[in-house]
Amino acid sequence: MDVVNQLQRQFIDYSASLHREGFLDDQFTQLQKLQDDNSPDFVVEVASLFFEDCEKLINNMARALEQQQGVDFKQVDASVHQLKGSSSSIGAMRVKDVCIAFRSFCEAQNREGCLRCLQQVTHEYSLLKNKLQTLFRLQQQILAAGGSIPVVE
Partner 1 sequence: MESCNCIEPQWPPDDLLMKYQYISDFFIALAYFSIPLELIYFVKKSAVFPYRWVLVQFGAFIVLCGATHLINLWTFTVHSRTVASVMTTAKVLTAAVSCITALMLVHIIPDLLSVKTRELFLKNKAAELDREMGLIRTQEETGRHVRMLTHEIRSTLDRHTILKTTLVELGRTLALEECALWMPTRTGLELQLSYTLRQQNPVGYTVPIHHPVINQVFSSNRAVKISPNCPVARLRPARKYMPGEVVAVRVPLLHLSNFHINDWPELSTKRYALMVLMLPSDSARQWHVHELELVEVVADQVAVALSHAAILEESMRARDLLMEQNVALDLARREAETAIRARNDFLAVMNHEMRTPMHAIIALSSLLQETELTPEQRLMVETILKSSNLLATLINDVLDLSRLEDGSLQLDLGTFNLYAVFREVLNLIKPIASVKKLHVSLNLAPDLPEYAVGDEKRLMQTILNIVGNAVKFSKEGSISIRAFVAKLDTLRDSKAPEFLPVLSDNHFYLRVQVKDSGSGINPLDIPKLFTKFAQNQSTGTRNSGGSGLGLAICKRFVNLMEGHIWIESEGLGKGCTAILIVKLGIPERVNESKLPYMPKMPANHGQTAFPGLKVLVMDENGVSRMVTKGLLLHLGCNVTMVGSSDECLRLVSHEHKVVFMDICVPGIDSYGITIRIHEKFTKRHERPLLVALTGNTDKVTKENCMRAGMDGLILKPVSLDKMRSVLTDLLEHRVFFEAI
Binding footprint of partner 1 on the chain (CB under 8 A): 20, 22, 26-27, 30-31, 33-34, 36, 38-39, 42, 45-46, 49-50, 52-53, 78, 81-82, 84-91
Are the C-beta atoms of residues 112 and 69 closer than 8 Å to each other? no
Least distance from partner 1 to the Cβ atom of residue 109, Å: 17
The whole-angstrom separation of Cα 31 and Cα 35 is 7
Give the other-Cβ count within 10 Å of 67's Cβ. Answer: 12
Q: Which is nearer to partner 1, 145 or 149 (CB)?
A: 149
**Cβ-based nearer residue to partner 1, 5 or 104:** 104
Residue 92's beta-bridge partner residues?
Answer: 24
Least distance from C-beta 81 to partner 1, angstroms?
7
Report which of 47, 46, 120, 49 is spatially closest to residue 80, judged by C-alpha positions. 120
Asked if 84 contacts 103 with a C-beta cutoff of 8 angstroms, the reply is yes
Q: Whole-number minimum distance, CB 56 to partner 1, in Å? A: 10
User: Would you say 127 and 93 are in contact if contact means Cβ atoms under 8 Å apart?
Assistant: no
Of 45 and 107, CB closest to partner 1: 45
Q: Whose Cβ is closer to partner 1: residue 20's or residue 148's?
A: 20
Query: Shortest approach of partner 1 to residue 12 CB, angstroms?
Result: 19
